[in-house]
Amino acid sequence: MEKQFDALKTNVNQLTIRITEVESKQQEYEQALTFCAEEIADLKQKLSNIDDIRQKLKSLEESQAADNYKVRQLQTDKSMKTLRICGIPKTHNEYLTYMISKLANQLSCAPITKADLETVFRPKNSDQSPSSTIVVRFNSLLKRDEFYNGRKLLGKNNVTVQKLGLSGDNKIYINESLTKATNTLFYKARQCKKDLNYQYVW
């Protein structure tokens, strides 16, 4: 009986040890599950933050695109009212508004006054010296178009700087003022015309 009791006691002790080990393992698993749950919650929060950032970036991109469109529209609006006149040499103490008025008279346009012009200036070259180009921005698109359409008389009436009271026989050219994007587009179109050997590009 004693031997059987000792054997049973040994088995109970071993079973108690196994139960203790299982309980210890269970605690480890529970701790691991708790840690994983916390990690998952943290990842979900990070994913939520990433979604918020994406939404903010998308909103910023849309806002920037809208601002860029407005800037392009303003540039286009200004360019539509602007002309570039080439060939008129710079003189000492020149009065550009008066020069434009005299040129308008040669083009049989309606008289141009200071009130018709937003600005008249010579842009600076890379060496900071005034160029032979005169930039004219009109207050009215109608006035700008009338002046621009009169350029057809430049060659027909042989309008040179002499007719403006200046020395020399420089020819005068009146060109549209294009935005940088439009200039680039026209340049690429001319390149395509050259590369493809086209006669015209419309």
Q: For the residues of the chain, what is the DSSP string, one character each? A: -HHHHHHHHHHHHHHHHHHHHHHHHHHHHHHHHHHHHHHHHHHHHHHHHHHHHHHHHHHHHHHHHHHHHHHHHHHHHHHHTEEEEES----TT--HHHHHHHHHHHTTPPP--GGGEEEEE--B-TTS-B-S-EEEEES-HHHHHHHHHTTHHHHHTT-BGGGGT-SS--B-EEEE---HHHHHHHHHHHHHHHHTT-S---
Least confident of 88-97, 122-131, 163-172: 122-131
Q: What is the pTM of this model?
A: 0.54
The mean per-residue pLDDT over the stretch 4-17 comes to: 71
Distance CA 119, CA 138 (A): 7
Q: pLDDT tens digits, residue range 62-87?
A: 767 665 555 555 555 667 899 999 98
High-pLDDT (> 90) share of the chain, %: 17
Instruction: Give the residue with greater pLDDT, 96 vs 167.
Output: 96
Cα of 174 vs its chain's centroid, Å: 28
Looking at the predicted structure, is the pLDDT value of residue 8 above 80?
A: no
Q: Which of 118, 115, 114, 116 is nearest to 95 (CA)?
A: 114
Q: What is the mean pLDDT of the chain?
A: 80
Retrieve residue 169's tokens: 């026989």
CA 114 to chain centre: 33
Tokens 């139960």 — which residue?
19
Look at residue 119 in the predicted model and tell me its pLDDT: 92
Closest CA to 88 of 20, 165, 33, 13: 165
When mean pLDDT is compared across 39-43, 55-59, 146-150, 185-189, the lowest value belongs to 55-59
Predicted confidence (pLDDT) per residue in 138-165, tens digit? 998 899 999 999 988 888 878 888 888 8
On the question of pLDDT at 22 being above 90, the answer is no
Task: Report the alpha-carbon distance of residue 137 to residue 141 in Å, rounded.
Answer: 9
- Hey, what are 90's tokens? 């710079």
**C-alpha to C-alpha distance for 168 and 89, rounded to whole angstroms:** 9
Report pLDDT for 6. 65
Mean pLDDT of the region 24-39: 81
The predicted pLDDT at position 118 comes to 92
- Among 10-19, 63-72, 110-119, the minimum mean pLDDT is found in 63-72
